[in-house]
Amino acid sequence: MQLHKELSESVEDEINSYKAAVEEYSQRLGFFLRELETTHGDQEWFKEISALQKSSKKEKSKSKKKSSSWTTFKNIMLSADNQGEAEMLFEVIEEMNRKIMRLEKFRDTIEDLKKFGLGKDILYVTYVRDEVPEKLVLRKKGEKAGEKFEFIAEFSTVNNL
């Protein structure tokens, strides 16, 4: 169980950690692409990865690109060329960006709960899936197992379809 402050700090630490990793992988991908530009710059896969890398700095979450440089061996995908490595680096960056977005949404939700008055006397039991919190159970500090917790608030949502 975590207190609100601990949960907020934990989520913020995760966000910062992922942002640092994205920066590191982005630099690695950029360096890798600059090295390959002289030998592979005219190839279509190189142009596509370069374009995706440039646009991903402006927009987060692009669709995954699959190429013929991969082959399946049992339960894993294998590649032995530069195209495969570039694609893999790009996919890692995109996955981390998706986690950052999910963590930021969770952080914002926690802050909204705090604004509704949940905070210092509340413990959170957190369900984490794929390193991102998804569910909370709210408990009063010192609450016994059978005690009832009451939280009254109005929520409205907007669906952006």
Q: Residue 120 has what pLDDT?
A: 67
Left, alpha or beta for 50 (phi > 0: left; psi -120 to 50: alpha)?
Answer: alpha
| pLDDT average, residue stretch 54-82 | 71
> How far apart (Å, rounded) are the C-alpha atoms in residues 134 and 155?
18
> How far apart (Å, rounded) are the C-alpha atoms in residues 55 and 70?
24
Confidence of residue 13 (pLDDT cuts 50, 70, 90): very high
Q: What is the DSSP letter of 147?
A: P
The secondary structure of 91-133 as a DSSP string is HHHHHHHHHHHHHHHHHHHHHHHHHTT-STTEEEEEEEETTEE
- Mean pLDDT for all residues in the chain: 79
Q: Residue 83 has what pLDDT?
A: 83
Return the domain boundaries, the chain. Answer: 2-140
Over the stretch 108-135, which tens digit does the pLDDT of each residue have? 988 888 887 776 677 778 888 888 888 8
pTM of structure:
0.72
